[in-house]
Structure 1
Amino acid sequence: MQKRQTILLFFISLLSLLFLSQSALSASIKERMESRLPTINALKKSGIVGENNRGFLEFRGPQKDAATVEAENKDRATVYKAIAKKQGVTVELVGQRRAEKIRAISKPGLWLQKADNSWYKK
């Protein structure tokens, strides 16, 4: 009986650590994305980047602040993967759905990509 309780306690502790680790990772991604937002908004406003139809940033002009764009796309991919796993769908579908939402809420003057791969300014 004592051995079972010890094993059960061990697994509960392990699951708790995994959950806390995932929460910390999510918070870290959110903080990074929020800190990049002013730069990304400026890049969008200047027409350097647009939102593609897969839910990622894509260069439309000179590759200014490429490290910021790459970091944002990497974090978005991580978020999309987590959502896809939770919902039981593909990462691609999550990205496409996010792209649709971004197109709907974007301000005028920003570059957006339609589902047919054509680009337009809203």
Structure 2
Amino acid sequence: MIARLVVLSAVGLLAGCKSIPIDIGTRESVKVDLAMKVDVYQHSDPGSVKRVTPPPPADITISRRNRMAEIQTLKNSRLIGENHAGYLEVRTSPPGEYGDYVRATVDAENSDRARLIEKLAKEKHAAVSEAERTQSELFRTNAFPGEWIEVPDAEGKFAWKQKD
């Protein structure tokens, strides 16, 4: 009985006590100055097999599809345009490595287009020039407004203009 009374009185005394406030915050914000340097080294394993880049796809459609975004970016940048023969032409050649990239991309696309035009000419039993004309009309029609296209003028020559 006495033990119960002692426990109850201790609980009553503790319940009535107010806790002491302790401020753990700071008056100023914490500032952290961090500098880091990361050096990455890649060492080849002398016993590993060297990776060989796979050859470009044999299918013209696949290689052209893989290049489509790059070609559209170059067209949007107004660096290249569709000429009257159905091929791409560099209108403004940037200097340096990027210019080399633009020319290489256009050359690769034109190579695929030449193979495609020859294939279409054989299928339709038509001259290559007729297939080029058909393809150039298709490419001009599908060009977006603002892209450079080569169109025939009144004298039968061709002139560059931006598509309306």
- The structure where helix makes up a greater share of residues is 1
Specify every segment of 5 or more residues in structure 1 that has no aligned partner in the other structure, as ranges: 1-23
TM-score by length of 1: 0.74
Q: Which residue of 36, 61, 64 maps to 2:67? A: 36
Query: 1:92, 1:40 → 2: CA distance?
Result: 23
- For 2:107 and 2:140, the matched residues in 1 are separated by 20
Higher relative contact order (CA 8 A, sep 6+): 1
Match of 1:85 in 2: 122
1:54 paired residue number: 85
Task: Name the CA distance, whole Å, in 2 between partners of 1:101 and 1:29.
Answer: 17
Distance in structure 1 (CA, Å) of the matches to 2:93 and 2:109: 17
Task: Kindly report structure 1 stretches of 4+ aligned residues shifted beyond 6 Å.
Answer: none
What amino acid maps onto 2:143 in structure 1?
S
Per the alignment, residue 74 of structure 1 pairs with 111
Give, in whole Å, the separation in 2 of the partners of 1:112 and 1:59.
Answer: 11
What residue identity is the alignment partner of 1:117? F
Deviation sequence 1:8-55 (CA, Å, 0-9, x none): xxxxxxxxxxxxxxxx94xx2111100111110011111110000100
Unaligned runs of 5+ in 2: 1-56
- Per-residue deviation, 1:105: 2.1
Shift of 1:78: 0.4
- Find out whether 1:109 has 2:146 as its counterpart: yes
In 2, the alpha carbon distance for the partners of 1:86 and 1:105 equals 23
RMSD, aligned CA: 1.4
Q: One-letter code of the match for 1:58?
A: E
Larger radius of gyration: 2
Paired residues in the alignment total 97
Scaled by the length of structure 2, the TM-score of the pair is 0.56
